[in-house]
């Protein structure tokens, strides 16, 4: 990994980086959003909901989990405002909460598909 060969602080760069303060509440939400997306089951749920509005049973079938386990994951995503729900009779349908979620997910997928070095440093 490339590192600085000198131990030099650049005050102008530091000042510019500090111009916009980091809101602690927003930062905490950001961390929770990325944690939600980092869990494979939740990432799959979001993928399927990007394709279509689905009920818990449909999602459970698609991801290979019980209705209870699927509901648990959906509750987590709902709490973070990543999904919304709509009740029709006795069936609850889930969908992506808004275009922000769609854009975030699609941008992450696009970034993942960009050319990367082959040494897999992760």
User: Do the beta carbons of residue 63 and residue 41 sit within 8 Å?
Assistant: yes
Task: Give the pLDDT mean for 4-17.
Answer: 89
The span from the CA of 4 to the CA of 82, in Å, is 39
User: Do the beta carbons of residue 55 and residue 93 sit within 8 Å?
Assistant: yes
Helix intervals (H) in 39-98:
40-51, 56-63, 67-79
pLDDT value at position 110?
93
Q: Taking the CB of residue 62, how many other CB atoms lie within 10 A of it?
A: 16
In this prediction, residue 114 has a pLDDT band, given cuts at 50, 70 and 90, of confident
User: Do the beta carbons of residue 77 and residue 46 sit within 8 Å?
Assistant: yes
In this prediction, residue 54 has a pLDDT band, given cuts at 50, 70 and 90, of very high
Task: Give the pLDDT mean for 82-101.
Answer: 97
Mean pLDDT estimate for the chain: 91
List the one residue out of 44, 20, 34, 12 whose CA is nearest residue 80: 34
Question: Tens digits of per-residue pLDDT, 24-33?
Answer: 999 999 999 9
- Between vectors from CA 78 to CA 112 and to CA 20, what angle results, nearest 5°? 60
pLDDT value at position 57?
96
Domains and CATH numbers, the chain: 24-112 (1.10.10.10)
């Amino acid at each position: 990994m490339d590192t600085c060969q000198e131990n030099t602080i650049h005050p102008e760069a530091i000042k510019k980086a500090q111009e916009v303060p980091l809101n602690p509440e927003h930062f905490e939400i950001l961390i929770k959003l990325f944690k939600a997306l980092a869990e494979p089951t939740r990432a799959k749920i979001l993928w399927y909901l990007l394709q279509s509005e689905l009920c818990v049973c449909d999602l459970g079938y698609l991801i290979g989990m019980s209705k209870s386990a699927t509901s648990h994951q959906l509750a987590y995503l709902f709490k973070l405002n990543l999904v919304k729900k709509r009740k029709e009779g006795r069936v609850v349908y889930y969908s992506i909460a808004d275009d922000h979620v769609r854009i975030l997910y699609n941008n992450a997928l696009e970034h993942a598909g960009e050319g990367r070095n082959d040494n897999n440093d992760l």
